[in-house]
A and B are shown apart, each in its own frame.
Chain A
Amino acid sequence: MNLALIGINHRTAVLDVREKLWFSDTELPGALAQLKNQFFTECFIVSTCNRTELYGIADVQKNPGSADTMVKSAGESLVNLKSASHTVLPHHLYRLFGCKAAGHLFKVASGIDSMVIGDIQILNQIKSHYNLATAEHTVGVFLNRLVQTALRVGKRARTETSISEGAVSVSYAAVELASKIFSNLSEKRALLVGAGETGELASKNLVGRGIASFSIANRTRARAEELVKDLGGTVIDFDQVETALRDIDVLITSVSSPQYILSPDQLRRVMKARSNAPLLVIDIGVPRNVHPDVNKLENVFLHDVDSLSRIVDQNLERRKSAITSVNAIILEELIGMRQWFESLQVSPTISDLREFFESVRSDEVRKHINRFSEQDRELVDLVTKRIVNKLLHLPTTNLKNGNGESAEERHKKIHIIRGLFGLHKNEPIENRLDEDTIP
């Protein structure tokens, strides 16, 4: 496979460096066209906040030298396209070839190379960047197959393993908790008291899950009104909170206050007024907004940032333990892809072989044709052609159909034939490597 990968990700470079090499959707078409022109027969780029990776099928005719040199130059071009050669240095970039490059893309698609394991977004990002490259006509047979397989790997990883299961952020953990207590969030009501990123995110998630109604309270009414514009819902006066609690199922507090804003006695009254219907209280405040003894009340579930973090840690552990299964899927698909590629190798090898035999035949015939009479010249041509065809018949059939051999054995055969007859024209890049790097 002439597949090459040059890239930068969160493991090799910090954000300051990575963002210099980020390509927007408007910049990509130009970049793709230029890189394809210089180095590749096919190429496509994935560029997100955590990585920029260029995948390409090397054009051997344009770059007859060492594969590594070619890929290094491609990397330099990539960096120069963004005029980032002062910030993005060679050691920030990694290069991979052939199966390793393919395997890397599969790892990325399945979410195990992301900053947060099991990240779902990356699959959509790969898809959209692939569509972009397709529209620019920089994608051909190989990359098509590669990306389709990568998307399948991503889908399989998500459906067959627990790599993307469970909340891995505090705000999502809050929603997960709500759905462990309540059956139907679309029949429940939530109240956010205060403001702050985590609280707002959790509220946004609840609204996203279709919570029936949502209200916001803040000591400064204006701030509450501001938030309502962003999140939707209604505003409640801060001193109305205790009364409002009687009709609320999920309470999120995110107030910066040195004292507790809710006491056990208050909650006891509230619970009595709502016939003890379950109440989830998520206290994001540091220091805490709700007195811990509130948790002792029947049907009140009080959770703070610590317990939400515990949920997140547990889920991360579970995702990590799914990595082995994901790797098994990746290996399976890599083998499939290799077999497909091997099957493609057969035709060029056969044609290269025929070409070689034909060149020898026509050479010799040309040299000695003058020894034959005019009538015999056609016959000589015919007979020599027949000899060549007969000689090639068995090897050709053998290569095409095989005798129930494995892909590995066929690969060896092709390699041997190419070596024996010196057929290097269409030889894959892997046979010309002098080094490869792993990030």
Chain B
Amino acid sequence: MTANRWLSRLAPVVALLASMHAAQAADYTLLNVSYDPTRELYEDFNAAFAKHWQATTGKTVEIRQSHGGSGKQARSVIDGLPADVVTLALAYDIDAIAANARSLPANWQSRLPDNSSPYTSTIVFLVRKGNPKGIRDWGDLVKPGVSVITPNPKTSGGARWNHLAAWGWALRQPGATEATAREYLRKLYRNVPVLDTGARGSTTTFVARGIGDVFLSWENEAFLAVEELGEGKVEIVVPSLSILAEPPVTVVDKVALRKGTRDVADAYLKYLYSPVGQDIIGKHYYRPRDPAVAAKYASRFPTLKLLTIADFGGWAKAQATHFGEGGIFDQIYLPQ
């Protein structure tokens, strides 16, 4: 029943994509390569932008979407997937595209407001009805018998945010050292029975397959699960501390210039910052940047203490320390 409801949600997306293929060729075609949980957000936003673009320029634009784990998506773009724009989970993945594919400048993050992140999000816990394991904070995740669902940080941006939030919490416990934080993470991953490649896969694992007691989830994905399953089947638990996720967006200059889509790609991303774009963002449970729109949706979002990537020395350092070859994740993770 649960799986059927999720499938029924995907069906219109598939139908839409099919009809887009069948439709008459548009003046422009954009490919937005994004991370896993943004399917529904960009489905709505793309329709709004296409309407806006036609109204302002008289031209039609077709936007195709590609979704997967953020790191995996970045790898695909480096390997030649012709993305006009990338909208990924974290800046490091776009930095990797800039460094390896040389298809956009190194200073890409300064080209749009708010470090090119039109919205923010954070990490929360999703637990079963009634929270039978009594999970309230990060410390509860390492208790014996607690099964934790999180994706693979090697491929998923959301998983990297999860990992850093857990690390940050562990380091802020009384008497904590790097060794105790490392031990905490070792115990946490010992409680993870399966690593999906992306956040949407983990949602399937937790929600559709009924595996695990707690799911370390993007905030928007947690709200979506509650909305889909109905309140009372799963519950959101807000931990004492989490992390400010700033998923960035940018144009892939080399592709857009080659395809002649630079202007429409620029406009597409700027529209994310418009009141209409920000409102769609808020509707899909992402935290808007625009103060007015943020105020409109403020009641949805709990207030909690948030670390930032700067607390970890920036993405380059965090990536090398935690997720690079031989990094902390490699050292502590033992496949179940």
Are A and B part of the same complex? no
